[in-house]
Amino acid sequence: MPLDILVGAQWGDEGKGRITDWLAERANIVARYSGGDNAGHTVTVGGQIFKLHLLPSGIVQPKAACVLGNGMVINPARLLDEMDTLAKLNMDVSPARIKISAAAHLITPAHVALDRAEETARAGGKIGTTGRGIGPAYTAKTSRHGLRAELLLEPERLGDAIHEHIQQTNVYLQSLYGQAPLEAGAVAAEYAAHAQRLAPYITDTSLYLHQQLQAGATVIAEGAQGTLLDIDHGTYPYVTSSSPTSGGVFSGLGVGPRFVGRIIGVTKAFQTRVGEGPFPTEAFGAEAERLRGTGQNPWDEFGTTTGRPRRCGWLDLVLLRYAIRVNGLTELALTKLDVLSGLKTVPLCNAYSAHPQTHTELPLGPADLSPFKAVYEELPGWEEAVSGARALANLPANARHYIRRIEELTGVPVTMISVGPEREQIIFTA
Ligand code: IMP
């Protein structure tokens, strides 16, 4: 089947980039359907590290075409920076290869300023946003004041729209948040320059994808963030403002479900989260530090976008089963198994206790996890490093047991296991 979906099954940062990179080698098109430059996807090829925020991870492959779908919010300055960086590495970033949906929304400095002002004003109740203007851009979209990418094709309309948008936002910035106003003329001039460069990329990407799928192309829908950050299905209000779950693919790309094949959920072999919000299996102190790493390696648990240390803990199967249900996952890709080598036992959370009951499913969804205490199975650990393993049989018996237990308790097969950052450090089980 030609439309394969790849989503984050946790709070983002699951290592989706490298799984997409592998799938992209066999695909014709990689399409992002939600979010913006709040995402940070790291792909390591031959020791060279690519950090992508807006372009689909498929761009690192020489052939796959890349689509930025209508469900995205795009900061043009950051997109152009990313394209320029890749162009210097001799990658093809031409309009023949990259298509931007005319219906995607644009992020401006006003959205960024509002995001930061709102976050500061939240004082104790901070969400811990990435400060990239994501929430305000989606708010503008749903309140029908948004700036769609199609404006980049019409310089005069774009100029008028930017002036109006900056003037409106200044009212909020000044009167609600006591911030300095932005200069509409300067932003309009900046966006006129962006428009000149980006206009050739603007496409009806729904039509493009439909035609390609009809012709038999393989398309990967690449999720950003993760299920638990979904505006509807996540740990609300500690979520992002888009729909990273599989349902978001159809609205975010303008394609129907009839083409769907695999729905792959990417999960780390443990659990991480950035920003605020509940985290029942969170570890602290030396345990957390061990999972996080020192920050010396780019794959250690520090945010790709913000550099913030990630909160770390143990794999939570109550939340993973929830992600499997919400996304209709057909398989799991398990990443960073190598990080667990050397532990005496590996805790695996299969239930929550909330006195006097135990829950193996969330009774009311994940919004309020605060009443729950994680209940763990302690599985035997393994001493051996696993980064050289390329087949299931090369893994220590206890590592295989850990994977089997995840499959048993979720009912979904683990088809890919990553054991290191490099492209070839993946085990395929099927
Ligand atoms: P926003 O998307 O910048 O509005 O941030 C909302 C929440 O989502 C914050 O907790 C962020 O840390 C989190 N978030 C947004 N994007 C990512 C991501 O790509 N990985 C992990 N967390 C993210």
Residue pLDDT, tens place only, 294-347:
777 878 899 877 788 999 999 999 999 999 999 999 999 999 999 999 999 999
pLDDT for the residue numbered 41: 84
Looking at residue 216, the DSSP 8-state letter turns out to be: T
Please state the domain count of the chain: 2
Q: How far apart are CA 371 and CA 368, in angstroms?
A: 7
Q: Which of 153, 218, 162 is nearest to 188 (CA)?
A: 162
The pLDDT value recorded for residue 104 is 98
CATH number at residue 127: 1.10.300.10
**Domain assignment present for 87:** no
Over residues 263-287, the pLDDT tens digits come to: 999 999 999 998 888 899 999 999 9
Ligand 1 pocket test, pick from 38, 53, 235, 312 with the greatest ligand atom count within 8 Å of Cβ, gives 38
Average pLDDT of span 147-158: 98
**Cα(358) to centroid(ligand 1), Å:** 30
Q: How many CB atoms lie within 10 A of CB 213?
A: 20
Q: Is 53 a catalytic residue?
A: no
In a domain, 367, yes or no: yes
Looking at the structure, do residues 182 and 275 belong to the same domain, yes or no? no
What gap in Å lies between CA 182 and CA 190, rounded to an integer? Answer: 13
Q: Please name the residue that has the structure tokens 């400060």.
A: 131
Best of 229, 231, 276 for a ligand 1 pocket test (most atoms within 8 Å of beta carbon): 229
Q: Are residues 150 and 284 in the same domain?
A: no
Residue 186 backbone class (left: φ over 0; alpha: ψ -120 to 50; beta: rest): alpha
Mean pLDDT of 178-199: 98
Do β-strands 48-52 and 29-32 pair in parallel, antiparallel, or remain unpaired?
A: unpaired
pLDDT band at residue 1, thresholds of 50, 70 and 90? low
Residue 353 β-bridge partners: 358, 373
| CA distances from residue 19 to 144, 292, 426 in whole angstroms, order as listed | 35, 21, 9
Domain boundary among 198, 221, 253: 198
Among 198, 215, 246, identify where a domain stops: 198
Q: Are residues 274 and 423 in the same domain?
A: yes
Q: What is the mean pLDDT of the chain?
A: 95
- 214 Cα to the center of ligand 1, angstroms: 34
**136 within ligand 1 shell (Cβ under 6 A):** no
pLDDT band at 123 (very low <50, low <70, confident <90, very high): confident
CA distance 166 to 371: 43
Q: Which two tokens stand for residue 105?
A: 């929304």
Residue 154 lies in a domain: yes
Boundary residue ending a domain (163, 182, 198): 198
> Is 323 inside a domain boundary?
yes
Mean pLDDT of 416-430: 92
Q: What are phi and psi of 380, to 5 degrees?
A: -65, 135
Regarding whether 319 and 188 lie in a shared domain, the answer is no
Supply the pTM of this predicted model: 0.96
Q: Which of 157, 135, 154, 138 is nearest to 146 (CA)?
A: 138
Tell me the C-alpha distance between 20 and 55, whole Å.
12
Domain containing residue 290: 267-428
Q: Which of 75-79, 121-125, 181-185 has the lowest mean pLDDT?
A: 121-125
Residues 36-74: tens digit of each pLDDT: 999 988 887 777 888 899 999 999 988 899 999 999 999
Question: How much distance in Å is there from the Cα of 175 to the middle of ligand 1?
Answer: 27
Domain match, 296 and 415 both: yes
- The DSSP H or E segment spanning 66 is strand 65-68
Q: Beta strands 357-359 and 345-354: pairing type?
A: antiparallel
112 CB within 6 A, ligand 1: no
Residues 272 and 421 in one domain: yes
Our measurement of the distance from residue 401's CA atom to the centroid of its chain's CA atoms, rounded to an integer in Å, reads 29
Residues 312 and 395 in one domain: yes
Cβ of residue 225 lying under 6 Å from some atom of ligand 1:
yes
Instruction: Answer yes or no: is 144 within a domain.
Output: yes
278 shares its domain with 194:
no
pLDDT at position 275:
82
pLDDT computed for residue 310 by the predictor = 94
Is the pLDDT assigned to residue 124 strictly greater than 80? no
- 359 is known as an active-site residue: no
Please state, in angstroms and rounded to a whole number, the distance separating the CA atoms of residues 24 and 109.
Answer: 33
> How confident is the model over 212-244, as pLDDT tens digits?
999 999 999 999 999 999 999 999 999 999 999
Alpha-carbon distance values, 196 to 35, 148, 191, 394 (Å): 24, 15, 9, 53
Q: Are residues 411 and 278 in the same domain?
A: yes
Active-site hit among 4, 13, 37, 338: 13
- Domain match, 159 and 274 both: no
Domain assignment present for 46: no
The dihedral sign for the CA sequence 18, 349, 318, 374: negative
92 phi, psi to nearest 5 deg: -80, 110
**Residue 417: inside a domain:** yes
CATH label of the domain that carries residue 300: 3.90.170.10
Under DSSP, is residue 312 helix (H, G, I), strand (E, B) or coil?
A: strand
Ligand 1 center to 107 CA (angstroms): 16
In a domain, 142, yes or no: yes
- Tell me, yes or no, whether 280 and 164 share the same domain: no
Residues 286 and 401 in one domain: yes
How remote is the CA of residue 404 from the centroid of ligand 1, in Å?
31
State if residue 134 touches ligand 1 by the CB under 6 angstroms criterion.
Answer: yes
Helix or strand holding residue 351 (H, E): strand 345-354
Over residues 85-96, the pLDDT tens digits come to 999 989 999 999
Q: pLDDT tens for residues 11-21?
A: 999 999 889 98
DSSP 97-144: TEEEETTSEEP-HHHHHHHHHHHHHTGGG-----SSSHHHHHHHHHTT
